[in-house]
């Protein structure tokens, strides 16, 4: 089992000792309920760094008032078992350790946070950027690992690191998928069996977009309309967005002339799922 610490001071002392012994520090921030997607990040850190720290914290400030904060799965014991032999330390703090009484300082994020998730989840990226910056200053890692599934989040964090001159590398690792293509997510466990089957439509629509681009289609609207028709056939509760955008700025693209990214957010039953895929024209 990895060492479990619950206070900022313990976490800092542990990482300071590792750094003093000459080890590079890899950090994998998570909200727990770990799956193979998370573990792929931990393995990447273990392969590149001498010491791997995983944080497990369901951050309240990135959830909206009607979102699933109370229901979000909390599975610390099984998470620790999964991390055995992979992580050197796990930091699982209490709320009061992260947000002391009177807390009132926030990271305001810029233009890359405004579209897509920024529209659907107001305040979400302010909470994400704030907790990630706090974790960075607690750990001061050499490398921090994030997954491509949360594509916009990775862009927001990378922008924050550049803008604030943070002395670390942001590593974004590929999406890990189930055999049927569904992107691994802690929220997948919310899905009823029929919903789980219908959720594969996200990957199907993204693959459809990639195929259309490979065949020479350059009109983004035609591609997103085809994706929407595919998704609607699975009877989703709601389509929050289907978009094709610049992969660095998330500005909408009308005509595909180079590398772009397709992104979507769809509600299957009560579960909101996101996914994305890089599109490469021939």
Are 52 and 44 within 8 A, CB to CB? no
Residue 134 to residue 115: CA distance in whole angstroms: 24
> CA 5 to CA 49: how far, in whole Å?
20
Global pTM value: 0.97
Q: 3-class DSSP state for residue 203?
A: helix
Write down the pLDDT at residue 278: 98
What is the pLDDT, as a whole number, of residue 111?
Answer: 96
CB crowding 179-202: b at 16 or more within 10 Å, else e: eebbbbbbbbebbeeebbebbebb
Q: CB-based contacts of 168: which residues, under 8 Å, 6+ apart? A: 136, 140, 141, 142, 143, 144, 161
The per-residue pLDDT for 175 is 98
Helical packing angle, 8-20 and 124-139, nearest 10°: 50
Amino acid 215: pLDDT: 97
pLDDT at 57: 98
Q: How far is residue 151's CA from residue 63's CA, in Å, rounded to a whole number?
A: 18
The pair of structure tokens assigned to 208 is 């459809």
**Structure tokens of 49?**
């760094």
**Three-state DSSP class for 156?**
helix
252, 263, 261, 253: which is closest to 280 by C-alpha?
Answer: 261
- Residues (pLDDT < 50) of the chain are none
Mean pLDDT across the chain: 98
| Spatial separation of the C-alpha atoms in residues 36 and 188, rounded to whole Å | 13
Strands 89-91 and 143-147: unpaired
Do 6 and 97 touch, CB atoms closer than 8 A? Answer: yes
Catalytic positions, please? Answer: 38
3-state class (DSSP) for residue 183: strand
> Do 59 and 73 form a contact (C-beta atoms < 8 A)?
no
Paired residues of 239 in beta bridges: 266
Tokens of 217: 């289609």
Looking at residue 68, its pLDDT comes to 96
How far apart (Å, rounded) are the C-alpha atoms in residues 169 and 48? 12
């Amino acid at each position: 089992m990895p060492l479990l610490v619950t206070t900022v001071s313990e976490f800092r002392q542990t990482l300071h000792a590792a750094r003093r012994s000459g080890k590079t520090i890899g950090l994998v921030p998570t909200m727990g309920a770990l799956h193979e997607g998370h573990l792929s990040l931990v393995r990447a850190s273990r392969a590149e760094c001498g010491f791997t720290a995983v944080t497990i914290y369901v951050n309240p400030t990135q959830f909206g008032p009607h979102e699933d904060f109370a229901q979000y799965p909390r599975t610390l014991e099984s998470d620790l078992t999964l991390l055995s032999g992979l992580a050197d330390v796990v930091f699982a703090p209490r709320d009061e350790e992260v947000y002391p009484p009177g807390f009132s300082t926030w990271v305001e994020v810029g233009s890359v946070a405004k579209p897509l998730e920024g529209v659907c989840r107001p305040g979400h990226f302010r909470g994400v950027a704030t907790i990630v910056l706090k974790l960075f200053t607690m750990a001061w890692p050499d490398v921090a690992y994030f997954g491509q599934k949360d594509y916009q989040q990775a862009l927001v964090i990378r922008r924050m690191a550049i803008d604030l001159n943070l002395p670390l590398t942001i590593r974004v690792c590929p999406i890990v998928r189930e055999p049927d293509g569904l992107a691994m997510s802690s929220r997948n466990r919310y899905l009823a069996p029929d919903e789980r089957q219908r959720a594969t439509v996200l990957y199907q629509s993204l693959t459809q977009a990639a195929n259309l681009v490979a065949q020479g289609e350059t009109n983004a609207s035609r591609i997103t309309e085809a994706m929407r028709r595919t998704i609607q056939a699975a009877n989703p509760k709601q389509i929050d967005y289907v978009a094709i955008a610049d992969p660095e700025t998330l500005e909408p693209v009308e005509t595909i002339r180079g590398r772009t990214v397709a992104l979507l957010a769809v509600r299957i039953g009560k579960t909101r799922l996101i996914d994305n895929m890089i599109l490469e024209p021939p």
